[in-house]
Structure 1
Amino acid sequence: MSRPMLRYGRQSIEQDDIDAVVAVLRGDFLTTGPAVEAFEKAIAEKTGARDAVVCSSGTAALHMMAMALDLSPQDAVVVPSMTFMGTASAVRLAGAEVVFADVNPETGLMEAGHLEDAVARAGSHRVKAAIPVHLNGWACDMNALAAVADKRGIVLLEDAAHAIGTTVAQDGRRIAVGACVRSKMAIFSFHPVKTVTSAEGGAVTTNDHALAARLRRLRSHGITHNPGDFVDRAAAFAPGGEPNPWYHEMHEPAPNYRLSDVHCALGLSQLKKLDRFVARRQALAARYDKALSPLAPLVRPVPRIAGCEPGLHLYAVLIDFAALGLDRATVMQRLRDQGVGTQVHYIPVHRQPYYRRRYGELSLPGADTYYARELSLPLFPAMQDDDVDRVAAALSAIVDCVG
């Protein structure tokens, strides 16, 4: 009997998650209700940030974060090329230009030298911000990046879409990614393949209460219901001084990026399992490391980052396809024939046609080298130990066939 296909990632939904969603469906609020605030409070507590603002997706979180910077066409934002397209698209949607940074060819992470190089290539544009990406769940060196950013007056942000549950060592303690210790804001994604899911959803964390309030306006048409923000006081307040109960104001145009109570109920239930899910992903990764070690140097995992305990979104390996004598598509198909699904994360964004037309041909050898070798293997909490062994055996068979 054939075994089920192992996808590279999938959600792990349990009965309590279902019960949480059903409870909302049976309640009074499907959206803009109490589950939203509860989810935000839980994210803030888990990350150590003062505020969390949830929204409809990780890309929405990126766009809200970019809009909150008040970017102009004269501004530029540094984005590593090794990321999902949403990181760069958010900058363009907010009206600024993107300067693509290179990455370490082994880890796929943007480093301080890459940020310096990108700033030097910005030309006449003012580099207002930089968005390092914690790829696969491994954290960038935020201290080194902050040293560059602080020196140049650059706002440092974090794309932590892969890194919920990741912690780093700092000053003798462990700091969660999203605490915004060295950044203004950080974003998360709760897509089904991420470590925890709200089906679709995202969040921005920050330690700036005023900024959090603006982010909440930006996720809901730029509308405020806060009497302290009202400008047209004659229309806003009754003769006795009380705010009119129907009144609201729009202070800037913005999308509808709200996250419903249904999604938040699922996300809150999932977030309670974050530590368990992270531990399971780390255990599966350790088993992969051991099982794949005989395949080195043809196949090897992305190297560990010192001081980082990752909430792994992906288990990424680097494969020397040229030495193997097989192209990546062939390897992926042979694995698929054995019931093993894989994916590539990512095509360097500077290679996308839109950015080639806008910025010309760029030489970012680290991103291109990482991309040429990367393959993401199945990783999700419901996997069994023998699933890892099955993937490793399928890869070993491919290597042995050409060895």
Structure 2
Amino acid sequence: MKYIPYGRQLIDYKDKQLVLSSLSNDLITTGPLVEKFERDLRKYFNCKYSYVCSSGTAAIHLAMLSIGLKKNDIILMPAINFIASYNMAKIIGLKVFLVDVDEFTGQITSEKILECIKKNKLKKINALLTMFHGGYPENIKKFHEIKKKYKFLIIEDACHALGSEYRYKNNFFKIGSCQHSDISTFSLHPLKTITTGEGGVVTTNDAKVANNIRLFRSHGISRKKNKHWEYDILKYGFNYRLSDINCALGLSQLKKINNFLRKRKKIYQKYLKEFKNFNSNILVPIYCKNIKFSYHLFLLNIAFNKLNKNKDHFMKYLKSHGIMAQQHYIPIYKFSVFKRKSARFPGTEKYFNNSVSLPIFVNLSNINQDKIIKIIKDYFK
């Protein structure tokens, strides 16, 4: 049986030609294509500084280090997210407080943040890591207001949100512009909006933070401009660099990003039309109208308890028909590495029990999407 994946990259002839051409360059790492890709990203996001790195996880690690987070600092983050942000925070030695999420969108809200602060009696908070689950940037204005009140820094884990925009005081801003955050991170994994094979991006408007990113990304090395053989090590750093070969693919993909977003939107809208009023046990999350999506995920919330079934039964049913749906994500507190097992997150529990991600990617065919829709509708007969 040939399966329909929940996500897939689209690599075309032009992508391959540019990558192939990059192999003939004198420098295939730390070369001109890295610099050009970073310039094009700065222009796209309309931010002052952008740096590419080896993965979305590396981007999160660089962001945390570059804004000055250190052992025993306090960070808030969503209970629903890929494990990367939690892993990086714990490796640094941060005290992590998970924030409950909305039961339908899987995102934190201002109310949930304030509940977390009150429940844990937090007086000083160093950072909030937000995550625009599925590519839908909600609540930015409210997050910014809480930031001003508690004087913490905001890291945007925007790995789902490359191409998303939000409205603030009648102006639209791209996620990554860092107009209402301190730093943003992105993934260039094959399943994301655009890809470099593996890769990540960090953006900021702060010159000091930008310099930290540059240093941490490459062993903490600072070289003299006119004496390339002389250098100093200013920080304990890493090799989080991205090669020119990867950046060649990124440059080609970035040119097509608007087309990719249009195709994702078309797939999203077809799902929405088919499922919005199909069955009382299905709910499609409703997002505010003053944002533009990247359509990274299409989420269905299904009231499995009313069907006397569970999500596992539904996922097995889809797989038996060749559809590889997914769950985004297993709550962080359910993993063995999480120590405080007594924590309660009612919104997260409801979201996790009921939410399923349907296949959505640029080259998902009409025939396959129709198949997905029919098989899901048949489940409710």
- Tell me, yes or no, whether TM beats 0.5: yes
Q: Which segment drifts farther, 75-84 or 38-47?
A: 38-47
Q: CA deviation at 1:298?
A: 1.8
Distance 1:154 1:202 in 2: 24
Counterparts in 2 of 1:256-275, with a 5 A limit? Answer: 256-275=239-258
- Matched with 1:364 is 345
**Following the alignment from structure 2 to structure 1, what is the Cα–Cα distance between the partners of residues 357 and 211?**
38
- 3-state SS of paired residue (2:179): coil
Matches within 5 A, 1:230-241: none
Query: Mind listing any 5+ residue stretches in structure 2 that lack a counterpart?
Result: none
Moved more, 183-192 or 319-328: 319-328
1:51 aligns with 2:26: no
- The answer (yes or no) to whether the contact 1:77–1:129 under 8 Å persists in 2 is yes
Is the counterpart of residue 318 in structure 1 residue 316 in structure 2? no
Q: 2:137 aligns with which of 139, 158, 166?
A: 139
Secondary structure (helix, strand or coil) at the match of 1:42 reads helix
* TM-score normalised by structure 1 residue count: 0.91
Instruction: For 1:1-400, list aligned pairs within 5 A.
Output: 4-123=2-121, 126-226=124-224, 243-355=226-338, 357=339, 359-400=340-381
Contact 1:76-1:125 at 8 Å conserved across structures: no
- Rounded to whole Å, the distance in 2 between the matches of 1:22 and 1:176 is 31
Equivalent position SS for 2:74? strand
Tell me how large the CA RMSD over aligned residues is: 1.6
Q: Secondary structure at the match of 2:131?
A: coil
Cα 1:69–1:123, aligned 2, differ >3 Å: closer, same or farther? farther
Describe the SS at the equivalent of 1:205: strand
1:324 Cα deviation from its structure 2 partner:
2.2
Output one character per residue of 1:108-163: Cα deviation in whole Å (capped at 9) or x when no partner: 11111222222234457831000110000000311101111111111112110000
How far apart are the structure 1 equivalents of 2:285 and 2:122?
Answer: 36
- Count of residues in correspondence between the two structures: 381
Give how far 1:297 is off: 2.3
What CA deviation, in whole Å up to 9, does each residue of 1:181-239 have, x standing for no partner? 11010000011111111110001111112321210111111111256xxxxxxxxxxxx
Local SS of the residue matching 1:218: helix
Identity %: 29
1:247 corresponds to which letter in structure 2? E
Q: Determine if contact 1:139/1:305 at 8 Å carries over to the other structure.
A: no
**TM-score normalised to the size of structure 2?**
0.96
The answer (yes or no) to whether the contact 2:141–2:168 under 8 Å persists in 1 is: no
Deviates more, 1:201-210 or 1:324-333: 324-333
Aligned to 1:232: none
User: How far apart, CA to CA, are the structure 2 residues paired with 1:297 and 1:398?
Assistant: 14
* More displaced 10-residue stretch of structure 1: 149-158 or 125-134: 125-134
- Rate the CA distance shift 1:317–1:128 in 2: closer, same or farther, 3 A: same
User: Highest CA radius of gyration, 1 or 2?
Assistant: 1
Specify the code of the residue in structure 2 equivalent to 1:345. Answer: H
Relative distance call for 1:36 and 1:121 in structure 2 (3 A) is: farther
Q: Is the 8 A contact 1:190 1:196 kept in 2?
A: yes
Q: Which moved more, 1:124-133 or 1:265-274?
A: 124-133
Matching residue's letter, 1:286: Q
Are 1:63 and 1:93, in contact at CA under 8 Å, matched by a contact in 2?
no
Structure 2 CA distance for aligned equivalents of residues 121 and 322 of structure 1: 29
The alignment partner of 1:253 has SS state of coil
1:133·1:140 contact (CA, 8 Å) conserved in 2?
no
Q: Please tell me whether the aligned partners of residues 33 and 244 of structure 2 are also in contact (alpha carbons under 8 angstroms).
A: yes
* CA shift digits 1:5-32 (9 cap, x unpaired): 2100010111111111101112222211
Deviations 1:350-379 (A, max 9, x none): 222211x2x342111111111111111110
Amino acid at match of 1:24: S
Aligned-partner Cα distance in 1 for 2:345–2:311 = 21
Instruction: Provide closer, same or farther for how the CA distance between residues 390 and 364 of structure 1 changes in structure 2, counting only shifts above 3 A.
Output: same
Amino acid at match of 1:211: V
